[in-house]
Structure 1
Amino acid sequence: MPEASSLSATALFRCRGYMLFWTSRATATLGVQIQSVALGWIVYSVARRTMSVEVSAFYVGMIGLAAFVPVFLLALPAGEAADRHDRRTILLLCYAGEIATAVLLACAVGFDFATLPLLLAVSGLFGASRAFMGPASGAMGPMLAPRELLPRAIAWNSLALQGGSILGPALGGLLLRGPPAVSFAAAAGFYAVAAGMVFLIRDNTRPVAGTGSRWALMKEGLAYVWSNRIVFGAISLDLFAVLLGGATALLPVFARDVLHAGPEAFGLLRAGPAMGAAVVAVALAVRPIRRHAGPIMFWGVALFGVATIVFGLSRALPLSVAALAVLGGADMLSVYVRQTLVQIITPDQMRGRVSAVSSLFIGASNELGEFESGLAARLLGPVGGALFGGVGALVVTGLWAQLFPALRRADRLE
C-alpha cells in the first residue's frame, strides 16, 4: 500500500487497492438499490391484488424482517470469520450469493411464479449473504488506506454508498416501466462487476487471527463493544433512532396511495435520502469533521427525526423529496461520526467482530426498522406510522444524550 504523502482529498487515489474496493462498493450499491426498489414494488403490487393498503404495507415491512433474521443469526460467526479468514475471499463468496438471489428473482418474476412467501424467502437468502459481507467489508476497508487517511476514507466510502443510493433507485424506477425481470437482471450484472473489482485487489487482506476457540473470539468481540461506552453508545444510538424512524420502508405506500404517483415517483422518493447524504458526504470528504464530533452526531439524529415528521405530513412530491433529502443528510452526519469513532478506536485484529456487532445493530435498525414501520402502518396507517417514527427518533436522541455522556462529549475524530 503506498504511503500517503499528504492529507489532501486526492491522496486516497494513489491507493490502488482502496480505489478498487471503493469502486466495488459503489457498483454493488447500485445493484442493491435496484433490487430493493423492484422487490418492494413487486411485493406491494402482489399484495394489493387481494389485500388492503394497510395489510399490503405490512407485507412490504416484512421484507426487512425476512432479511434481518439471517443477519441476527449469523452476525457473530460472520465477524469471527472476518477476523480469521481472508476478507477478500469472503467478499467474493458474498457477491456470488447476491448474484444468485438476483437471478432467482428475475426468473420468478419473468416466468410468473412469484408469490409473497417466495419473495420473502429470497429476501432471507439475500440477508444471509449480507450478514457475512458487512463484517468483511467493514474490516477490509481500513486495511487498504493509511491510518491517517481513515476519516477521509470513511467519507469516501459513504459517498460511494450514497452515490449508488441516488442513481440506483432512480434507475430502478425507470427499469420498472418495463418487465420487472429486467430490474433483477440488471442488479445481477452490477454485482458481477463489483465482484470483479474485488478480485483485482492484490493487497494483503488476511487478518492476524487471534488465538482461542471461535466462541471465545466471539465473546471477546461482544465484551469489547459492551465495555467501550463510546463504541456501544454510538452503535446503539443508530440502532434505536433508525429502528423507530425508518419511514423509507413505507415509500411504496406513500408513492402509490398517499401522494398518488407511479413507479417513477417511487424511484425519486427512494433517491431522496441518498441525494442529501451524498451532498454531506462530499463535504465531509473534502473537509472532515475536526472538532465537536459527539454533539454533531446527536444533532444529526435529532434532525433526522424532524425530517421524518415533515415527510409524514407532506402531501406534495417536491416537499416529500426535500424532507427525505434532509433526512439523508442528517443521517450521513451521524453515520460518519459513528463509523469514524468505531474504526479509529478498534484494533485491526478485532475489526471483523466489532463490525459484525455494528452490522447486526445496523441491520436491526434498517431491516427491523422496515418491519416496525410496516407494523406501525398496519396499526396507525402509513402517515401515523411515519409520525410515530419521527417522534421516537427525537425521544431516543434525548435519552441517549443522558445515558452516554462520554459520547456526547466526544470531540476530535483521532
Structure 2
Amino acid sequence: MLTAPPDTRSLLRRRPYALYLSGRFCGTLANTSQAVIIAWEVYEIARQTMSVAEAAFAVGMIGLAQFLPLFALTLVAGETADRHNRRLILTLCYLAQLLTSVGLALHTAFGGGLGPIFALSALFGAARAFFQPTASALGPMLVPPHLLPRAIATNSLVAQLASILGPALGGILCAVSPIVGYAVCGGLYACAAVCAQRIRANTQPVVEAGRSRVAQIREGLGYVWGNKLVLGAISLDLFAVLLGGATGLLPVFARDVLHVGPEGFGVLRGAPAIGALFMAGFLAVRPIRRHVGLKMFAAVAAFGLMTLVFAYSESFPLSIACLALLGGADMVSVFTRQSLVQIATPDRMRGRVSAVSTLFIGASNELGEFESGVVARVLGPVGAVAFGGIGSLLVTGTWAFLFPSLRKADQLG
C-alpha cells in the first residue's frame, strides 16, 4: 500500500503551498465542470439546425475560440509573470474566469445563439493565457528546491482529482440546469480567488532592470530553443495531443455513438483524469528516476494506441477504460515535461519559459479540439479520432528519431 513519504507530508503542511493547492483544486474543478456544460450546450444548440458532422465542427470551434487569445497573449503573460507579483496576477485570473461564468449564465437565462458563447470562451482563453505561466512560476516559489519534484507530482495529483470530479459534476449540473452549473462554477472561481489572495509569501520575482519586454521574451524563447530536452519534450506533447485529443468530440460520442446522454458524457470527460489521478498518485510517491526519455516515448505511444481503440469502441465500459489508460499515459508525459521545465529553469526566467510551454500545451488542447472538429466534418467523428490516434503514433516514432537526446535521457534535473 502506498503512503505519503515524510517530505510530501511536510510539503502539505506549508500554509502558502496548501492555499495554492486549494485554489488550484477549486479553479480546476470549475474549469472542467464548465467545459462539460459549454460543450454540451453548444452541441445541443447546433443539433437543432445542423447535422452531426456540422455540430461536431461547432463544438470544435470552442477550442479555436480559446486558443486564439492564448496564442496571442501567452508570451506577454510569461514576461508579466516574471515582472509583477505572481499572487496578484493569479487572483485576477480567477476573477476573470468568474466573469465568464456569470456571462454564460446570463446568456443561457436570456437565450441566444452560439456567438456569445464563443466570445466568452475567448475571454476565458485570455485569462488562461495569464493563468498558466503564472501558476507554474508561483508554485516553485512556495517550496524549497529539494521538495520541488514532490510538489510537481502533488500539484498534478490535486489537479487530476479535480479533473475527475469536475466533468462528473458538470454532467450532473448540465442535466439539472446549465444556469445552475454556471453559478456553481462561478462560486468555485470565487473560492479559488480567495485562496490565492490569502497566500502570505514573497511572490514578487526578482526583476532585471534596464531590459525591455521584447528582450525578456526573446531570452525565454532562446532558452527553450537551445535546450533540446525541453524543446523535444514540449513539442512531442504538442503534436501528439494535437492529433490524438479525443475530448473535443466526446459530446458527439456520448449522444450519437454510445447513446449515454449528458450524465454519460460527464463520465467520459472525467475518465482520462481518473487514469491521470492514479498515475499522479504513483508518481508523487515514486517519481521517475531512470530511463526518463524512453518512458516518456512509451507513454505517448500508449496514448495514441488507446485513442485509436477508443475511436472504434461501441462499448461504454471499454470507452471509459481507453480514456482512463490514455489519461494515465499522458500524465507520465506531463510529469516529465513539467519537471524538465521547472527544475532546469532559473526562477527569474520561469514565467517566460512556462509561457512557451503553456503555448505548446494550449495549442495541443484547445487547437486540438478545433482540429478534431475540422477532421470530423470530413471523416466523421470516428474517423477523426482514429486519424488522431494514428497521427500520435507516427509523431512518437518521428520525435524519437529527431530528438535522440530526449530518447536517451536517463534522469531528470
Task: Give the TM interval when normalised to the shorter protein.
Answer: over 0.9
What residue identity is the alignment partner of 1:183? Answer: G
Q: Does 1:183 align with 2:181?
A: yes
Tell me the SS of whatever aligns to 1:59. Answer: helix
Q: CA deviation at 1:11?
A: 2.2
State whether residues 222 and 357 of structure 1, in contact with CA within 8 Å, keep that contact through their aligned partners in structure 2: yes
What residue identity is the alignment partner of 1:198? Answer: A
- Count how many residue pairs are aligned between Structure 1 and Structure 2: 408
**Equivalent in the alignment of 1:302:** 301
**Equivalent in the alignment of 1:172:** 170
- TM-score scaled by length of structure 2: 0.98
**Equivalent in the alignment of 1:365:** 364
Q: Does 1:196 align with 2:194?
A: yes
Q: What CA distance in whole angstroms lies between the structure 2 residues aligned with 1:13 and 1:134? A: 22
Tell me the SS of whatever aligns to 1:9. Answer: helix
Q: Does 1:88 align with 2:109?
A: no
**Equivalent in the alignment of 1:339:** 338
What residue identity is the alignment partner of 1:402? Answer: F
Q: Which moved more, 1:41-50 or 1:206-215?
A: 206-215
Q: Does 1:248 align with 2:247?
A: yes
State whether residues 75 and 357 of structure 1, in contact with CA within 8 Å, keep that contact through their aligned partners in structure 2: yes
Q: CA deviation at 1:263?
A: 0.4
2:207 corresponds, among 209, 228, 231, to 209
What residue identity is the alignment partner of 1:204? Answer: N
Q: CA deviation at 1:14?
A: 2.4
Q: What CA distance in whole angstroms lies between the structure 1 residues aligned with 2:118 and 2:13? A: 42
**Equivalent in the alignment of 1:3:** none
Tell me the SS of whatever aligns to 1:291. Answer: coil
What residue identity is the alignment partner of 1:359? Answer: T
User: For each residue in 1:196-255, what CA deviation from the matched residue of structure 2 results, as whole angstroms up to 9, or x when unmatched?
Assistant: 111110111110012300011011111111111011111111100000001111000000
Tell me the SS of whatever aligns to 2:314. Answer: coil
2:132 corresponds, among 131, 134, 139, to 134
Q: What CA distance in whole angstroms lies between the structure 1 residues aligned with 2:107 and 2:116? A: 8
Pairing of 1:7-26 with structure 2 (within 5 A):
8-26=7-25
**Equivalent in the alignment of 1:59:** 58
Q: What CA distance in whole angstroms lies between the structure 2 residues aligned with 1:134 and 1:158? A: 13
Cα RMSD after superposing both structures = 0.9
Tell me the SS of whatever aligns to 2:236. Answer: helix
Tell me the SS of whatever aligns to 2:160. Answer: helix
**Equivalent in the alignment of 1:390:** 389
Q: Does 1:312 align with 2:311?
A: yes
User: 4+ residue runs of structure 1 moved beyond 6 angstroms?
Assistant: none
Pairing of 1:64-143 with structure 2 (within 5 A):
64-113=63-112, 115-143=113-141
- TM-score scaled by length of structure 1: 0.97
State whether residues 151 and 413 of structure 1, in contact with CA within 8 Å, keep that contact through their aligned partners in structure 2: no
Name structure 1 gaps, 5 residues minimum: 1-5
Q: CA deviation at 1:179?
A: 1.8
What residue identity is the alignment partner of 2:135? Answer: S
What residue identity is the alignment partner of 1:96? Answer: L
Q: What CA distance in whole angstroms lies between the structure 2 residues aligned with 1:9 and 1:287? A: 11
State whether residues 88 and 198 of structure 1, in contact with CA within 8 Å, keep that contact through their aligned partners in structure 2: yes
Name structure 2 gaps, 5 residues minimum: none
Q: What CA distance in whole angstroms lies between the structure 2 residues aligned with 1:408 and 1:152? A: 24
